[in-house]
Amino acid sequence: MENLFESSTDCNLIKGKYTLNKNKIKFDGDMTLKGCGEAQQDTEYFEMLSNVISYEIKEVDDYKVIGTKAENTGKKKLLKLNLANNQDYMLFEEVK
């Protein structure tokens, strides 16, 4: 089974595969190239990705809200990327 991910910057979408090898993670994907104006955050986003020092994979309950009720629809995997400053992190949801 492939490890697929989906993420977004302020206005661009990124989809692709990730591979895990010991303590390293590699992303391979494509990104939309919408013009987001001067406040565009793409550069900042990729700088954060280059500062990842560790990762964790967590399996959590997945819920879908229907009306006013939340229904458990099984499990989903989250990929947590811990950044160099040890305070910030980025969270990706695995795409099924």
* CA 94 – CA 12 distance, rounded (Å): 18
For residue range 29-84, list pLDDT tens digits in order: 888 887 777 767 777 877 887 788 888 888 888 878 888 888 888 888 888 888 88
Is the confidence at residue 94, as pLDDT, over 80? Answer: no
State the pTM of this model: 0.58
User: What is the total count of domains within the chain?
Assistant: 1
* Host domain of residue 57: 4-94
- What pLDDT sits at residue 79? 80
